[in-house]
Structure 1
Amino acid sequence: MSWFRALKGAARSGLTVERKRLEPLVALRGAAGLALVIAVSLTLFGPAAAAGSAFGGFQAAIATFQRSWRPRPQLALASGASLGVSTFLGYLTGSHLVLFLPLLALWTFLAGLSWAAGPTTGIIASSNVAMMLVTITLPTTVAEAAGHAAVMALGGLVQAALVVLFPVRRWGAHRDALADALAAEADYARRLRHDPVAPFDPAPLMLARNAAALTPRQARTRPAQLHGTRGVAERIRPVLASLADPAVGVPAEGPERDRARELLAAAGSILDAAARAIRHGTPVDIPPDAIAAFDSPDLDAILSGPAKRAATRLGSLLRDVVETAGGTPTPEPRVPAFRRRLTARAPLRRTAPRPAPSAKTRPLHRPTLLQLLPVVVRAMEREVRAGASVSRYAYRVCAVAVAGYLLGNALPLGHGYWVPMSAVMIMRPDFSQTYSRAVARFGGTLVGVALATGVVRLAHPDTELSAALAVLCAALMYLLMRTGQLVSQACVSAYVVFLLGMGGEGWSQTVPERLVLTLVGGVLAMLSYALYPAWETPRLRTRLADWLAALGEYAAVVVDHYAHPAGRASPDVREALLKARDAHIAWQEAVDRAKDEPVRHRGLSNAAADDAAHALHRLGRVAMLMEAHLPERDATPVPAAAALADALRTAVRDGARAIRERRVPEWGAVRAALDAWDGEGVPDRVVRRGAGMLVESLEELSEALDTDDPPMSVESRETSAE
């Protein structure tokens, strides 16, 4: 992609306004907390302290809006406290350039590295640095600086208290994540009716897994509907695929295929009903047609073999989903057998005492904020040592903040801190977000400042009216922040103008300079990425190799279970599957970022990347189909599977290394192990057919990578070696 097209796409993305589901009650709660903080500070300490406390309350409320599975009060407290500490330290050194610049460099560098712990931590840390640059100009003495830090922390405390006292749809984000996972599987079941090899995006399942990781306090208070459903949903996906697949399920045409389509449609309806019940906290209302499909007496007569096993397993898993979803279907005079199975156990009431969770249902552990500190430190250390994109972003934002501060102070415009503040708020670890935010920030600043200036000139607001207008702008920002960057930046710009006006700075002292200085900060941010980039395009080969290595290990673990059915049970399969999904998500995110970068590919064209991804999708799908039919502990072992699993592990490691070195992987050893398998008896066609499809997927990957740009064929490599 050329620079012109990349910049055009980034500008369009930054200026886009989308229709999103609004949350007025949450926005009202955040605005009420901000108003309370400003009113108390204004009454007790005066306008300057009120302006400082308003920044703390404003930032703490924004922290509660971030996509995080942690308790919202903790985010508000952490945001307010960290902003207070930053402001106090900034004021102590602000009058001495030789002291303040090292502090600014250290603070921005650590804020940049904090993205290694996740976007929520990174956004809060970056916002704290940006607001510190503004708030250190408000106090005039050390005592006042300490007071400002205290009221900023108080703003976070007030927002946290409001979240506790007035919860809005508590556990709503966790419910949505689990419901989205079930809805995605329902959609997958319906697509399998028409396309038996339809792909499935694992992102909803991964999101649901992240939401299921809880702190000890959350684990004690989570609703019954969030107990165990995700684990059951994880097991449904391979069963759906195995029922629909022509290779190991039902034939492509005929009565069995028609019966499978009915079951898939019924499964989609039941999963949708469970998703609605979990999302809204209501009983599960299953459509009668869906129940009738699984209760049909001809189920056993039409299906046989692996398809019959898959259908039986699917019915059992759907019953578990309905039971754990926390509701009872609408009663009818005649209750079919399948409905009796669905309602065999009454769901747990929210007020009923819960038994101690078993090893299978115990929630995933999420560290508390104090426990998170060493985790974040280790993540930062890894980023610095690896020289990854996050560490490059940290160096970049550090240099821009220091250069912007010096440049802003050198310009004869006053309020030079707007330059580094704008740059820090704009910059993100990847190219497209940084450039789109730069365009959105300047456009939003222009709109917000123009509107605020018009209001100031017409109304000449006093301190109280300026405070009320600032709260109104903050409320609009909380309400519309998810609709687009342009809207949120416009609201923030107007908010800052009114807030500084309340603190005693006239609009003529801030508005004209702010437009120019914001533009300077945006240009610095954009130039920094052009001069010191962290392009994802050259790393696509590494991401592809990581995905292959993870998928190959997952496939090898599954195949090995056929050789040792009485050995270890599924935990190692589960662990390998999660690593494969993580690698898949990393590949997809890298591809999404790379397509917006103005960089030519280096040895992996778009067509080759798409074909290689298709081959790996097929590899993962075949391994999933074999996982759906893992043998019981008393099943007959398949000795040849052990040799194939060992060959897979070795060949995949070598293949991943070959991809990183721009060579085509070779699978001769895997093909030889498969040929040796044919001489032995195989008790189930799923095993041998699945093994053959694994090898075919690996060979398809090599064909996708055997391109002429640059030459990568095995023959050309052998010729060059001679």
Structure 2
Amino acid sequence: MSWLRALKHTALAGMKVERTRLEPLVALRAAVGLAIVIGFGLAFLGPGAAASSAFGAFMAAIATFQKSWRPRPVLALASGLTLAVSTFVGYLVGSSHTGLFLALLAVWTFAAGLLWAAGPTAGIIASGNVAVMLVTVTLPTSVAQAAGHAAMIAAGGVVQALLIVLFPIRRWGAQRDALADALAAEADYARRLRHDPVCAFDPQPLMRARDAATVTARQARRRPAELHGARGLAERVRPVLASLADPAVGAPAEGPARDRVRELLDAAGTVLDAAARAIRHGDPVRLPTPALAVLKSPDTADLLTGAPLRAARRLAALLDDVLETAEPRSGRPVAPDASMLRPTLTALVPTVLRSVRAELHPDSPILRHAVRVTAVACAGYLIGQVLPFGHGYWAPMASVMIMRPDFSQTYARAVARFTGTLVGVAVATGIVQLAQPGMYLSGFLAVVSAGLMYVLMRTSYAVSQVCVSAYVVFLLGMGGVRWDQTVPDRVALTLVGGLLAMLAYALYPAWETPRLRTRLADWIAADGRYAATVLGHYAAPADARRADVRTALLAARDARIDWQDAVDRAAGEPVRHRGLSRAAADGAGEAVAALGRNAMLLEAHLPDRSQAPVPGAAALAEAVRADTEAGAKEVRERGVPRWERVRTLVADEGAPVWGAPDPGVLRAAGRQLLDALDEVSEALRT
């Protein structure tokens, strides 16, 4: 993609407004918290303290809207307290010497950039703290006042946290939605399988549900029982659905058996949808009787035999468990195992440090982002001091809030922020000119602007910036700052900050396109390990551990998501493909997804511990593992994999694997695995 097309693409993306479910009650609660701290500050401490507390409450509320499964009060407290510390330390350093403050800004910004290694929530909170610190350090005039302002900022975070505790809205709503979305995605998958027996399934809802099910020890004691077991059942339902529908291992493509399979799939979709609705709203399960009648029909055994019949019976049993688990009940929830416990914020520190340390190498996108944002923040601060404007901090503040580790988001947010700033200050200026608001009315208008931002922030970054710009104009107006003292400065310096952010990425990029082959190789290797682990269960059922299959499956899913994210980011980059074209990436992605799907079909028929080992399964497992590891190495080195071990084994009709007691599943799986691997090679030749 050329630079002109990339700029056009990112500009349009930045201005796009998405339709999403709004949360007006949550936004109202956040706005009420902001109103409390502003009103208290204006009434008893003056406009300066009110502005400080407002920034604390404002940023604490924004933190609670981030995509995180941690308790919302914890996020509000973490945001408010860290911002208070940043402000106090910033004033102590900045009040004595500009050079020292610049050094502190560099250290603070670099650390905030590295915190993206811990996830987007940590990165956004840290970036927001740096941006707001640039404003709040200008408000106090003494150390005592700086301590008071820091205390007010922390109080703003405490107020937001208390409101969440005292006035909870839809308890466990995010976790309920994540689990319900996973079950609804499985219901949709079951219905699509009726018409396309080999259709694809995006595991993202299941992965999101797993993230939501990982809780802190305190959350585990309070979690509703219906949120505990349904996710694991949904994970087990998916391979059974696929194996029942696929003609290679399930019922024939046409005939009475296929008709019964379609009926079973439709009934499964009905059951899963009913469970999803019950979990989402916390209501009893309401299930149409015909669906259960189909699943438990005795004549299924007359129409299906072998593997399809086992899959049908397994599906009916699993759906019974789903319905039982989804039914709300007052019993004490079962404690999760250690792997599903989320550490506290203090216990998370060593993990974050390890994640940051892993990014300290020249090719790391996170390290490059930290270097870029540090250079831009320092340059923006110096430029803001030199330019004949007041409020020079707006340039680095805009840059810090705009910049993200990838190209598309940075450029899209730069365009959206400048456009939103223009519109927001124009609207706020018009209101100020017409209403001539005093201190309290300015505070009220600031709260209204923030409330609108909380409601609309997930629809578009540009829309949220309209509200934020108006909020800042009204907030500064509480202290008697005239609009003509802030509007021209803010618009000009926001433009400077946006241009610096865009220029920095162009000069010191972290392109995803050259890394696509590495991401693809990681996915091939992960899917190969998953398939080999499943085959290993056929080779030694008595010694097999289901946890090994689960671990390999999760690793394969993580690799798939990394690949998909990389492809999405690379699609908007203005660079050449460097060895992996768009067509090759699409074809290879579909082929590797088919490889994982074939392994999943094998997982649906894992033998019990009491069953005898399947002859030849160990040889096939070793061939798959060795070939995918070698193939991944070839992909990284821009070669084309050959899969010789698997090909030799599958071509040998007399191999022991084909003499298994029930050879149909394993024979078909071996050939399908080879077909998927060959499709990967064919795609890489394009």
TM range (shorter): over 0.9
Name the counterpart of 2:667. Answer: 688
1:619 aligned residue: 595
Give the conservation status (yes or no) of the 8 Å contact 1:80–1:156: yes
Aligned length: 682
- 2-structure distance, mates of 1:390, 1:485: 22
What's the offset of the Cα at 1:569? 2.2
Tell me the equivalent position of 2:685: 706
Q: CA deviation at 1:294?
A: 1.2
Q: Which of residues 399, 405, 420 in structure 1 aligns to 2:375?
A: 399
Could you tell me the TM-score, scaled by structure 2's length? 0.98
What does residue 586 of structure 1 align with?
A: 562
Q: Is the 8 A contact 1:50 1:503 kept in 2?
A: no
Quick one: structure 1 residues 198 and 304, their matched pair in 2 at CA, closer, same or farther if it must change by over 3 Å?
same
TM-score (norm 1): 0.93
Aligned residue for 1:140? 141
1:484 corresponding residue in structure 2: 460
The 10-residue stretch of structure 1 (17-26 or 212-221) with the greater mean CA deviation from structure 2: 17-26
| Aligned counterparts, 1:121-270, within 5 A | 121-270=122-271
| Cα separation, 2, equivalents of 1:375 and 1:385 | 18
> Does the aligned pair in 1 maintain the 2:220–2:335 contact within 8 Å?
no
Tell me if structure 2 keeps the 8 A contact 1:212–1:363. Answer: no
Q: Which residue of 2 aligns with 1:36?
A: 36
Q: Please give the residue correspondences for 1:160-559 in structure 2 after superposition, counting only pairs within 5 Å.
A: 160-327=161-328, 349-350=329-330, 352-354=331-333, 357=335, 364-385=340-361, 387-559=363-535
1:460-479 deviation line (CA, Å, top 9, x unaligned)? 11111111110110111111
Look up the match of 2:60: 60
Cα RMSD, aligned residues only: 1.2
Change (3 A) 1:565 1:14: same
1:717 is aligned to none
Amino acid at match of 2:119: G
Counterparts of 2:432 and 2:274, CA distance in 1: 53
User: Is the contact made by 1:179 and 1:279 (CA closer than 8 Å) also made in structure 2?
Assistant: yes
Aligned to 1:711: none
Cα deviation for residue 104 of structure 1 reads 0.4
Q: Does 1:24 align with 2:27?
A: no
CA distance in 1, matches of 2:205, 2:67: 14
Counterpart Cα distance in 2 of 1:178 and 1:30: 26
Q: Give 1:19 deviation, angstroms.
A: 2.4
Amino acid at match of 2:403: M
DSSP 3-state at the match of 2:102: helix
Q: Provide the rounded CA distance (Å) in 2 between the counterparts of 1:418 and 1:243.
A: 60
Structure 1 contact 640–676 (Cα < 8 Å) conserved: no
Q: CA deviation at 1:363?
A: 7.3
Written as runs of structure 1 = structure 2, the 5 A alignment for 1:601-616 is: 601-616=577-592
Q: Which moved more, 1:638-647 or 1:401-410?
A: 638-647
What's the CA shift string for 1:559-604, capped at 9, x where partnerless?
1111101112211000000000000000000001111111110111
**Range moving further from structure 2, 681-690 or 28-37:** 681-690
What is the Cα deviation at residue 675 of structure 1? Answer: 4.0
Does residue 1:666 correspond to 2:645, yes or no?
A: no
| Secondary structure at 1:554 match in 2 | helix
Contact 2:544 2:609 in 1 (8 A): no
Distance in structure 2 (CA, Å) of the matches to 1:628 and 1:679: 23
Q: Distance in 2 between matches of 1:325 and 1:386?
A: 48
Whether 1:10 aligns to 2:10 is: yes
Aligned to 2:543, what secondary structure does the other structure show? coil
Q: Which residue of 1 aligns with 2:72?
A: 72
Q: Deviations over 1:231-253 (max 9, x none)?
A: 00000000000000000001111
CA contact (8 A) 1:640 1:677 kept: no
Letter in 1 for 2:24: P
- Say if 2:64 and 2:72, in contact at 8 Å, map to a contact too: yes
Q: What do the CA deviations read for 1:19-72 (whole angstroms, capped 9, x no partner)?
A: 221111101100000111111122221110000100000000111111110000
Query: Is the 2:76–2:160 Cα contact (8 Å) retained in structure 1?
Result: yes
Report which stretch shifted further, 541-550 or 650-659: 650-659
Structure 2 stretches of 5 or more lacking a match? none
Structure 1 position 672, deviation (Å): 2.1
Deviations 1:241-289 (A, max 9, x none): 0000000001111101000000000000100000000000001111122
Counterpart amino acid of residue 695 in structure 1: L
Q: 2: CA distance between counterparts of 1:665 and 1:165?
A: 60
Q: Secondary structure in 2 aligned to 1:582?
A: helix
The separation in 1 between residues aligned to 2:13 and 2:483, in whole angstroms, is: 30
CA offsets 1:134-164 (integer angstroms, 9 cap, x no match): 1111111111011000010000000000000
SS at match of 2:458: helix
Distance 1:553 1:17 in 2: 41
Please tell me whether the aligned partners of residues 219 and 363 of structure 1 are also in contact (alpha carbons under 8 angstroms): no
Deviation, 1:505, is 2.1
- Give distance in 1, aligned partners of 2:387 and 2:539: 73
Aligned counterparts of 1:150 and 1:401: Cα–Cα separation in 2 = 26
CA 1:357–1:61 in 2, change beyond 3 Å: closer, same or farther? closer
Shift of 1:645: 1.2
The question of whether the paired residues in 2 share the 8 Å contact of 1:214 and 1:363 is answered with no
DSSP-derived class of the 2:443 partner:
helix
